[in-house]
Structure 1
Amino acid sequence: MSEFLQAKDNRKILHVDIDAFYAQVEMRDNPALRKVPLGIGRDPDKHHGHGVIATANYVARKAGVHSAMGSIEAKRACPDLVFVAPDFDKYRRISGQIHAIFHEFTDTIEPVALDEAYLDVTENKMAAPTLAAQLRHRIWQETKLTCSVGVSYNKVLAKLGSEHHKPNGVTVIPHELAEDFMLKLPIKDFRGVGKKTLLKFEKLGVKDGRDLKAMSLDDLRVYFGSFGDVLYWQARATHFSPVKDRSVRQSVGKESTFELAIHDRQAVEAAFKDLAEKVVANMQKKKLLGRTLTVKIRDDDFKTQTKGLTLAGTFDLDPAFMTRQAMLIFDEAYPEDFSVRLLGLTFSNIIEQKYEAVSLFDQF
């Protein structure tokens, strides 16, 4: 059965991972940081011993520093470690640029984090390795950041490919090489295998994919429950999950209708401020971000105008910023006298916000 499923899976999947994203951004913006061990996090000496490493550059990684490590522990591992406090607003803006580039290649995108996503490029007529090369070039051209890309026919293999040749590499795992790749893969590198699972495998004498493939599905279910099925298919280079397009195609907006037409610019600004606060609250509640802000204006003659502004990245969910943008659009539409019956603000070109990295630092 696995051979049949594998033969029929003709998808083209890319997994894109920006190399040491936060650290790379800081090194790009400050070249003096490029050759020193760099950790993105708060210096424990300045924050009463608190802090967590969000990521580290490859110099620091060689010294044993890694993400989610406590800052004190990181400093013990690498006494020369340079700390830079994270700037998540900047990272989100750059991530928005990168995701806009993704949309040049496909609309079927599954974001995993600010720096990582799966792309299903099956419908694109170009060969997947060519698309990977073009994508890396576009990201470098636009942001001066490198990325690693895995290319295969399912998400697991694409993810393993992007991890296989880092930083700044492309790994292609075609059908004819996939099963051999999995047979040689250390068991710790299989997706979903954590410390507890690894201890079980050590007791069973399972060291790599070849050992795993030798286990029956029934035995895997006995030892690992439903995860046994996942492991069984992984050993056979087969994975069923599609790239889940997390683009949200609806819009989020609010409108205000006035019984009596308004003629005063300050009243318009106050109305936009109220609308912006309501839209932002709704977006934050739903954990959404938008790239397009549209202003709707209906005058006393019931003539309706809509004008939009689209960013390469996503808008900051800041009512004051939205109000300023809305007023710029309004002033362009009505530079002189006006008589307005309705105003509206709408976000579209929306994506779900799935990134939780900020919470690591909010607690300190």
Structure 2
Amino acid sequence: MLTDLPIRKIIHIDMDAFYASVEQMDNPDLKGKPIAVGGGGKRGVISAASYEARKFGVKSAMSGNLAAKLCPDLIFVKTNFDRYIEISKKIRKIFFDYTDLVEPLSLDEAYLDVTKNKKGNPSASKIAEEIRARILNEIGLTASAGISINKFIAKVASDYNKPNGQKTVNPEEVIAFLEQLDIRKFYGVGKVTAEKMYQKGIFTGLDLKQKSIDYLDKHFGKSGHYYYHVVRGIHNSEVKPNRIRKSLAAERTFSENLSSEVFMLEKLEQIANEVSRRLNKSKVAGKTVTLKIKYSDFTLQTRSKTLPYFISDRNILLETAKDLLFQETLNNSVRLLGISISNLNIELSKKSEQKSVSVQLKFEF
């Protein structure tokens, strides 16, 4: 029941078309124009698109070739991650003026728990307004926000009035909000799952709510419990300031398909070097090495090996990746290779015990 939820005031801040907006901010000539960050070249993939480009159907993870067909006037801009990281740090500095409970999800979004905040402001909605105004005035970018009693609802709400808007879902509005919500808007329901739900007559939160937990477990596996609870407003995950990294990875898409393992070794070495650099920078090591192979027909294959010891050394990483590459014959020519390392030597924090308390429906948001 909703009345068993912990009392929290959660804000989800999501920057608007972050990479593209940074590029438009730094180059005024790009303002108001359809731009794509990344995606240049014969095999490029888009990292982000401006809202002007999105009107034509251009979006992240789309090939540059397709994007150019959809939007002939599309301007391609090279990615500049150093700049995006620089801006992201400035944004997070603003967050920490309000609370230390900040959980970044990526460079452009984060959860904030402002139940108890440094400003002593009882209104999470007003805090979100103030943060968004500061990001605009001090940095020059717009952000959207969702505000509610837990992370799930706050994240869904942040997408409601994009760009440059916010939505608050008060405690007494949670159930009605979730019941009328299109199932595609539920965080964690991707395109494939949405299609599967449609086939079973599940189109809204209300439809989902009418399914038993046994039914959802049967048809959606371990995600069934998650769907059953979130549609009832139950999502007790706390904002974790120090999120535990589960893996590190790097990958490369090639300008030409590679048809022989011999031609892939040089690429693997480059990828292994990058993964090792990231491991050493983060001061972690891992035991499980996974090789990712995407073929020319876009089918994906992964091969993994768990070592008896933790590694971060690029030579061991490379040799393990080579073993995985030669483990079996390739199905086709290859367009992408990636190496990831998981089972990291980071001590998992003990899960905090969840305490159930009554939600006060007049709780000020």
- Residue 220, structure 1, aligned to residue 216, structure 2: yes
Aligned position for 2:93 = 100
Q: Secondary structure at the match of 2:13?
A: strand
Trace 1:21-100 onto structure 2 (pairs within 5 A): 21-44=18-41, 49-100=42-93
Q: How far 1:84 sits from its partner (Å)?
A: 0.5
- Residue 148, structure 1, aligned to residue 144, structure 2: yes
Distance 1:211 1:281, change over 3 A: closer
Check whether the contact 2:39–2:47 (CA below 8 A) recurs between aligned residues: no
- Residue 243, structure 1, aligned to residue 239, structure 2: yes
Aligned position for 2:190 = 194
Aligned position for 1:157 = 153
Q: How far 1:233 sits from its partner (Å)?
A: 1.2
Aligned position for 1:128 = 124
Structure 1 counterpart of 2:281, one-letter code:
M
Question: Which range is displaced more, 197-206 or 111-120?
Answer: 197-206
Distance 1:42 1:204, change over 3 A: closer
Provide the C-alpha distance between the structure 1 equivalents of 2:192 and 2:34, rounded to a whole number of angstroms: 31
Provide the C-alpha distance between the structure 1 equivalents of 2:338 and 2:85, rounded to a whole number of angstroms: 16
Check whether the contact 2:35–2:74 (CA below 8 A) recurs between aligned residues: yes
Provide the C-alpha distance between the structure 1 equivalents of 2:178 and 2:240, rounded to a whole number of angstroms: 24
CA distances 1:281-335 after superposition (whole Å, capped 9, x unpaired): 8434449xxxxxxxxxxxxxxxxxxxxxxxxxxxxxxxxxxxxxxxxxxxxxxxx
Q: Secondary structure at the match of 2:46?
A: coil
Check whether the contact 2:39–2:63 (CA below 8 A) recurs between aligned residues: no
Distance 1:198 1:53, change over 3 A: same
Distance 1:167 1:237, change over 3 A: same
Q: How far 1:247 sits from its partner (Å)?
A: 7.2
Structure 2 alignment gaps of length 5 or more = 245-276, 286-335, 340-365
Aligned position for 2:15 = 18
Provide the C-alpha distance between the structure 1 equivalents of 2:278 and 2:65, rounded to a whole number of angstroms: 37
CA distances 1:52-71 after superposition (whole Å, capped 9, x unpaired): 11111111001000011111
Q: Secondary structure at the match of 2:159?
A: helix
CA distances 1:142-179 after superposition (whole Å, capped 9, x unpaired): 21111001011100111011101100001101111111
Larger Rg: 1
Check whether the contact 2:35–2:53 (CA below 8 A) recurs between aligned residues: yes
Aligned position for 1:181 = 177
Q: Secondary structure at the match of 1:140?
A: helix
Q: How far 1:280 sits from its partner (Å)?
A: 9.7
Aligned position for 2:302 = none
Aligned position for 1:322 = none
- Residue 283, structure 1, aligned to residue 281, structure 2: yes
Q: Secondary structure at the match of 1:54?
A: strand
Provide the C-alpha distance between the structure 1 equivalents of 2:217 and 2:193, rounded to a whole number of angstroms: 13
CA distances 1:194-247 after superposition (whole Å, capped 9, x unpaired): 233122212211111111111111111111122111101111122111111117
Structure 1 counterpart of 2:29, one-letter code:
A
Q: Secondary structure at the match of 1:51?
A: coil
CA distances 1:32-69 after superposition (whole Å, capped 9, x unpaired): 1112111001423xxxx121111111110010000111
Provide the C-alpha distance between the structure 2 equivalents of 1:247 and 1:218, rounded to a whole number of angstroms: 31
Provide the C-alpha distance between the structure 1 equivalents of 2:103 and 2:58, rounded to a whole number of angstroms: 29
- Greater share of helix: 1
Q: Secondary structure at the match of 1:119?
A: strand
Check whether the contact 1:16–1:147 (CA below 8 A) recurs between aligned residues: yes
Corresponding residue pairs, total: 254
- Residue 5, structure 1, aligned to residue 10, structure 2: no
Distance 1:118 1:136, change over 3 A: same
Aligned position for 1:263 = none
Provide the C-alpha distance between the structure 1 equivalents of 2:337 and 2:53, rounded to a whole number of angstroms: 20
Provide the C-alpha distance between the structure 2 equivalents of 1:212 and 1:21, rounded to a whole number of angstroms: 33
Question: Which range is displaced more, 79-88 or 186-195?
Answer: 186-195
Distance 1:238 1:247, change over 3 A: closer
Structure 1 counterpart of 2:4, one-letter code:
L
Structure 1 counterpart of 2:61, one-letter code:
A
